[in-house]
Amino acid sequence: MEKIAILVDSGSDLSLDYIGKEGFYYLPLYVNLDGKFLKDRIDISPEDFYEWIKTNNKLPKTSMPSPGDINELLEKIRDDGYDRVICINIGSKFSGTYNACKLAEVEGIEVYAFNTGNLTLAQGFFATYAKKLIDDGFAFEEITKKLEEKIEDSKVFFTIATFKYIVEGGRVPKTFGKIGDALSVKPIIKTVPPEGGFAIEKIVRGEKKTLSQLEKIIRKKLEGVKDYYFFISEGDYKEGHEKLKESLKDIIENAQIYREGQISPTLGANTGPGLVGVGFFILD
C-alpha cells in the first residue's frame, strides 16, 4: 500500500504547530537580513521580522531553499517510510521553490511538485485538502488530479498600507506606486492562479472603505457556496485583522475550517508591514 507524505514550504503560512500536528514536512525559505540568512519561522518570527523592517526602513532580501535543503528533506521523508510525496509549493512567479522541487530526484521516493500559483493560506489550504484526500483513501494519481482541478478555487485578496515596499519588490510598476501614494489610495490586490503573480482588483480611498470593499468582495465570491475553508491573515496590522474578523463573523462561523495568523517573513518581504488579507478555498 502506498504511503504518501505532504511537504509544504513556508510560503503557505501554516503555523509550525499545525504542520507538526498534521504530520506535514516543512521546507523554509530564507530571509537575508544584512547578510545573515535566516530560515523563515524557524530562525525568525513574523513579529521580529516586521520590527526589523520598521527599525531599518527597508525590505530584506529573500531566497529559495537550496537543492541540498530539498534533497535532505526528501531523504528524511523517504527514510520515514514514505514512497511518495506531494510538495505544496508557493506559486512559481513568487519563488523558484516549485521548480527546484520539480527537478529534485531522490532514489526511493516519487516526488510530485504542485505549483499552486498562490501564496499564504490560499497555498496552505491545498495541503489541508490533500491531507483530507489521503485520509479518505484516494490514490496518489487521483489526489494530484484533484489538486490541479482546484487551482482556480483558492483565492486571496489583500490590501497594504503603502505602495513603497511592493514597488521596491518589483511587484507593481514604479509609476503606479507614486501615483497611488500621492493620491492616498489603497489597492486591493489579488493573486491570479494558475499563472501566479499579483493583479489589482480595486483601488479605494481610505482605510474604512478599503476594509468594507474587502468584505464585499468576499461575500460576492462566496455567494451560494456551502463548503469552504476561510482565513484572515495580517502583516503587522492587527487592527485591520480584528475589524474584518468582526464584519465577516458569519462567513467564519460557516467555514469548515477557519485559520488566522501573521504573514510569514518571506512573503512580508514583498509587501512590507500594514497588510491584511482574506481568502478562501472552495470545496463545492
Domain borders along the chain are 4-150, 154-282
Backbone angles phi, psi at 122, to 5 degrees: -65, -25
Candidate ranges 173-182, 213-222, 270-279; pick with highest mean pLDDT = 213-222
Report the share of the chain in percent with pLDDT over 70.
94
- For residue 223, the model assigns a pLDDT of 97
pLDDT, mean of residues 197-213 = 90
**Structure confidence at residue 175 (pLDDT):** 61
Q: 177: pLDDT confidence band, cut at 50, 70 and 90?
A: low
* Residue 186 confidence class, pLDDT cut points 50, 70, 90: confident
* Cell output for 274: 500594514
pTM of the complete model: 0.94
Residue in this structure with the C-alpha cell 500536528, named with its chain if needed: 21
- For domain 154-282, the question of CATH label 3.30.1180.10 is answered with yes
- 200, amino acid identity: I
Higher pLDDT, 59 or 78: 78
What architecture does CATH give domain 4-150? 3-Layer(aba) Sandwich (3.40)
Q: Give the C-alpha separation, 45 to 78, whole Å.
A: 29
Answer whether residue 182 shows pLDDT above 70: no
Instruction: Report the range of poorest mean pLDDT among 26-35, 51-60, 166-175, 237-246.
Output: 166-175
Q: What is the pLDDT of residue 174?
A: 64
Whole-angstrom distance, CA of residue 191 vs CA of residue 207: 21
| Chain centre distance of CA 61 | 18
The predicted pLDDT at position 187 comes to 85
pLDDT in tens, 63-113: 999 999 999 999 999 999 999 999 999 999 999 999 999 999 999 999 999
Question: For residue 267, what pLDDT is reported?
Answer: 75
Tell me what the pLDDT averaged over the chain comes to: 92
The reported pLDDT for the residue numbered 1 is 73
In tens, the pLDDT along 226-258 reads: 999 999 999 989 999 999 999 999 999 999 999
- Taking alpha carbons only, the member of 19, 26, 163 closest to residue 89 is 26
**Rounded to the nearest 5 degrees, what angle is found at the Cα of 73, between the Cα atoms of 3 and 61?**
135
The more confident residue out of 135 and 167 is 135
